Amino acid sequence: MKRVASIMPLDADPALAIPAAADVREPAPAPALFSLRDVDLHYGRVRALHGVDLSIHAGERVALVGTNGSGKSTLLRVLHGLLAPTSGTVSCLPRNRQALVFQRPHMLRTSVRNNVALGLWLRGMGWRQARQSAVDALARVDMAELAGRNAKALSGGQQQRVALAQAWAMDADALLLDEPTANLDPHAKREVEALMQEFAQPRSGRTMTMVFSSHNLGQVKRLASRVVYLERGRVLADLPVHAFFNGPLPEEAGLFVKGEKI
Ligand SMILES: Nc1ncnc2c1ncn2[C@@H]1O[C@H](COP(=O)(O)OP(=O)(O)OP(=O)(O)O)[C@@H](O)[C@H]1O
Ligand SMILES: [Mg+2]
C-alpha cells in the first residue's frame, strides 16, 4: 500500500504538532481486583448466582444488598475463592491479598493474640513477627487489654474486632465482610462500623478495597461508594451509592429500599 507523506513534518512546529496517539489516549483504567463474567453457581438444584457480571476496582467500597437468600454470602465466597462457579469466569486477587470476615468469626480455643498470630503464621509469616504484628493490630482495634483472653469467651462484637485485627495485620488489599454487624448491639455495631470506615482510608498510599453485605441500609449509605442489589442470584442494580438511594431503580430494588420487601 502506498504511504502518504505528511505535508509538514509533525515536529516542525511544536505548537502545531499533533500528539502521538499514546499521548492523547485516556489513561488506562486500573485493572479490576475482582472480575466476574456470566457467573452461575449452583448448590445442587439451587441456583444461587445467575449470570453475574461484576468488576470491582481498587479503592471501591461495594455494598451487596438484597433479601434473604438473594446470593450475597455466596457471591462473597466466590470473590474470596472459597467457591468455584458452576459456569462463567472469575478472576480475583490472590487469597493472601484479601481477607474475609464472617458474620460470626471462627475463633480457636486459645488466646486472642494467638488467634491473630496463627492466621499470619499460616500465611507464611515467622512466628515471632506474627506475634508482634498481632499485638500491634489488636492495639489498632482497641483490644490490646484482651490479648491474653481466651478468644472463644469474647462477645460477638469483640470477636468481630479480632477478625478485623487479623485483616489489618495481613495488610490485605481487599476486605470482604459478610454482614459484619448483623448480630451486634448498637454500641458494638457503631464500633465495628467505625473500624471499617478507618480501614477504608488510604494507608501508605494504598486504599483498601471493601466489599460487604448488609441488611442495614443506613450502614450502606454511610460506608459504601457503590451498591449492588441482588435478587434470586441476579444483579438487578449496580449503581453509585447516591444514585441507588435516589432512584430510579428497577421495581424490585425500589421496593427493597422502601422497606416493602424484606
Ligand atoms: N450450602 C448450601 N447448600 C444449599 N443451598 C445453599 C447453601 N448455601 C446457600 N444456599 C442457597 O443459596 C441461595 C443463596 O444463599 P446465600 O446464603 O448466598 O444468600 P444471602 O443473600 O447471603 O442470604 P442472607 O441474607 O439470609 O444471608 C439461597 O437460596 C440459599 O438457600
Ligand atoms: Mg448471607
DSSP code per residue over 69-91: TSSHHHHHHHHTTSS--SEEEEE
For residue 22, report the distance from its CA to the centre of ligand 1, in Å: 47
Q: What is the reported pLDDT for 27?
A: 67
Q: What is the reported pLDDT for 234?
A: 98
Tally Cβ neighbours within 10 Å of residue 130.
22
For residue 212, report the distance from its CA to the centre of ligand 1, in Å: 16
Enumerate residues lining ligand 1, CB below 6 A.
43, 46, 48, 66, 68-74
Q: What is the reported pLDDT for 171?
A: 85
Q: Going by CA atoms, what residue is nearest to atom 17 of ligand 1? A: 73
Distance CA 172, CA 92 (A): 13
Q: Going by CA atoms, what residue is nearest to atom 29 of ligand 1? A: 69
236 is written with which cell numbers? 438487578
Ordered domains of the chain (ranges, CATH): 34-257 (3.40.50.300)
Ligand 1 atom at shortest distance from the alpha carbon of 233 = 14
The candidate with the shortest Cα–Cα distance to 177, out of 92, 256, 62, 90, is: 62
Tally Cβ neighbours within 10 Å of residue 244.
23
**Strands 61-65 and 209-213, sheet pairing:** parallel
For residue 130, report the distance from its CA to the centre of ligand 2, in Å: 31
Q: Going by CA atoms, what residue is nearest to atom 7 of ligand 1? A: 43
Q: Going by CA atoms, what residue is nearest to atom 6 of ligand 1? A: 43
Q: What is the reported pLDDT for 144?
A: 95
What is the 8-class DSSP label of residue 155?
-
Q: Residue-wise pLDDT tens for the chain (262 aa)?
A: 434 333 333 344 444 444 455 555 666 667 799 999 999 999 999 999 999 999 999 999 999 999 999 999 999 999 999 999 999 999 998 887 899 998 888 899 999 999 999 999 998 899 999 999 999 999 989 999 999 999 999 999 999 999 999 988 988 899 999 999 998 899 989 999 999 998 888 776 778 899 999 999 999 999 999 999 999 999 999 999 999 999 899 999 999 998 877 6
Ligand closest in space to the Cα of 74: 1
What is the 8-class DSSP label of residue 143?
-
For residue 75, report the distance from its CA to the centre of ligand 2, in Å: 9
**CB neighbour class for 124 (10 Å; exposed up to 12, middle 13-18, buried from 19):** exposed
223 is written with which cell numbers? 460506608
Tally Cβ neighbours within 10 Å of residue 148.
10
Ligand closest in space to the Cα of 65: 1
Distance CA 94, CA 99 (A): 10
Q: Going by CA atoms, what residue is nearest to atom 11 of ligand 1? A: 48
In whole angstroms, what separates CA 138 from the centre of its chain?
21
**Strands 87-91 and 34-43, sheet pairing:** antiparallel
Q: What is the reported pLDDT for 25?
A: 65
Contact 74, 230 (CB under 8 A): no
Ligand 1 atom at shortest distance from the alpha carbon of 230 = 21
Residues with CB under 5 A from ligand 2 (ion): 72-73
Mutate which of 47, 49, 65, 68 for ligand 1? The one with the most ligand atoms within 8 Å of its CB, which is 68
**Helices (H), ranges, the chain:** 21-24, 72-79, 112-122, 127-140, 156-170, 186-199, 217-223, 241-245, 251-257
Distance CA 118, CA 123 (A): 9
Ligand 1 atom at shortest distance from the alpha carbon of 213 = 22
Q: What is the reported pLDDT for 262?
A: 67
What is the 8-class DSSP label of residue 111?
B
Q: Going by CA atoms, what residue is nearest to atom 31 of ligand 1? A: 69
